[in-house]
Chains A and B, each alone.
Chain A
């Protein structure tokens, strides 16, 4: 590798170029986020400030349940709707408040079973300006159980593992391998790939920050949440178009990363604080900022304005517009990052610092400058990841901290310190996690991902793309 006398001006220009490119990609791709017009509802859900998104499915096959009557009742509002072929109905509301959603199970085909009594009718509170508040119903033939929370353990009887297994295997024929169809596998892979791309955006920052400074940043999840909240602030509260929210999330995310490095991490590095205390500082920062978000944005699940109608179908998989665009934007940005890492002086300098900090400094690389750009870039990418995840699922004050361990798993799997490792690790973890739900309960998929990470550390602690010398 040649010596890299990095010209600071040149470096800055490249960094700006990277972010500019990301924006160009965003702007080019997203200004058409306007929702498609919905049917003749009393209140057009695409223009209403508040709406409920109801979705009826069968629990085991996840097949939609169309043509079922659903009643939505609230103060000064009482309407009935019929689910569309996707089992969905989007209901525009006159205002926020308490609503009751009742599914008329007699209009559903008898063979798909019924809804657990605890789930129907469903009461919910819609906050002002909350759109597409999800209300999902899962039909099941498993009459007694199914509610999950409603089942109570019997007191006196000695509950053994098989008695608890009984409740889940009541529909035993579908919980095993027979239910695994090609279509189901394909849909898991597609959702896994999309989520993996979003995860990769966040993971790259963690990996590069680790590589260049040695810090395991436990506060990176909060950078992700920050992006999601900025998207919510601009798109849902201020009502600006979706792409404005996304650009704001990226810009402010980068700014946040810059401020964090300048105010906190650089002074601590200068003081020579060890890596373990830095890690604990990042935990304190994560705790404080996470609950600061909760203080300002509340503890409820928030949603970004989104159009739930299917935009693209791949086989049995139906994707929304934002799912597709999120994946495309993520892919374009990831390619841009790859280009920066491989082809620009900044990227080469970053990899040099990551490989050997002292040697990089000795060959004239402005290590602090590189680290600053890593923080800015990492913050911007985390912000983008956050806002895209908010579109993909929904957001909350702890969205980022919930995926922090997934990010760590991805980064460890791919090899700490390597940007490409982070990408590969994210894809593997995400696809694996989604496929694992074919065999284990949905709520254990995180466990599967974390278990994979531990197993990887056992057999190949340096990760897929890491180098042997990185482990101690």
Chain B
């Protein structure tokens, strides 16, 4: 039996993909954990960010700083488009509109009529070139048994730096007056309104902030892979929710811990299943192995909400939804 997958699975904890999930989840924490906005469309923000980054740098040949700027601007615009009609409505309407908007983005970029711009259903390759051109790390394999390539190591370093910066930003914001108002909106919108605060405006600011983090995470997400529309389906959002609830929805470092645990557990279970299947320990075929990780995530999501809604790091008293 080949147990090579074990160190690799633990290596997932620091991979660039995990960093992207952590960053997107920090955005979600700003929305859901701190402001109480039920955003089921974080995958849409990631898609907007990813497409803005790749299309501008690959199709328009924009230099890296402008591509990043485009990523941020597009995320802000998307947040406004989403927020204007829905932030005055109740939470469940927001959830339906955001999930629908994310699907609208995915289906629109996928349409064959836009193939020249977005690559249609096949997506686009090589969007990370301008980023990897800046890579100062010489070619080779790094981090011992992980065999990380120089490109992955560079993406991971930049990605995790971005995640830490985002943590710092959100931490500073949440202990500022702005953060107290936003948390007040989460607890009792009407009370905050009675204090003369413009609730709508604060909600919009939170939506934009979390959305920009989601958009940047989308750009980070495509660094180690090609841009494909179906990566941004609704299940991506639900993975982010699982990560958030795992780490703690109202904590700064919860998303980091949650993303690391999430991917290590999934990779370990994938590896164990592969070993079990190839050695005929389990009576299932290798195609039946694929769905199992999603079943694990779904069950984990249910159990977390029911039995530990505050997650690993959270405090019971600060659970936005009391169980």
Contact = CB atoms under 8 A, between A and B. Distances in A.
B173 to A, nearest CB: 23
Interface stretch (B1-9, B10-18, B71-79, B301-309): B301-309
A262 interface: no
Given A148-B112, A280-B245, A283-B241, A161 B117 contact: yes
Interface string B296-315: 01111111011001000000
Given A158-B59, A280-B241, A454-B101, A291 B299 contact: no
A277 B96 CA distance: 15
B141 interface: no
Given A149-B120, A284-B302, A472 B90 contact: yes
B215 interface: no
Contacts, number: 180
Contact of B305 (A168, A277, A443): A277
A286 B114 CA distance: 31
Interface string A355-376: 0000000000000000000000
B191 interface: no
A279 B103 contact: no
Interface of A: prevailing SS:
helix
Given A153-B116, A405-B100, A471-B90, A287 B297 contact: yes
Nearest to A472: B90
A36 interface: no
B272 to A, nearest CB: 16
B86 interface: yes
Contacts of A51: none
Given A149-B121, A277-B321, A279-B38, A295 B288 contact: yes
Interface in B222-250: 234-235, 238, 241-242, 245
B93 to A, nearest CB: 6
A298 B291 CA distance: 9
A314 to B, nearest CB: 30
Given A148-B121, A283-B298, A443-B111, 8 more contacts: A158-B60, A163-B116, A279-B92, A280-B301, A287-B298, A443-B112, A457-B89, A472-B90
Interface of A: 148-149, 151, 153-154, 158-161, 163-165, 167-168, 216, 268, 271-277, 279-281, 283-292, 294-295, 298-299, 401, 405, 408-409, 412, 441, 443-444, 446-447, 450-451, 453-454, 457-458, 461, 471-472
Question: Which 7 residue pairs across A and B have the least CB separation, nearest first?
Answer: A288-B298, A472-B90, A284-B301, A287-B298, A164-B116, A284-B302, A291-B291
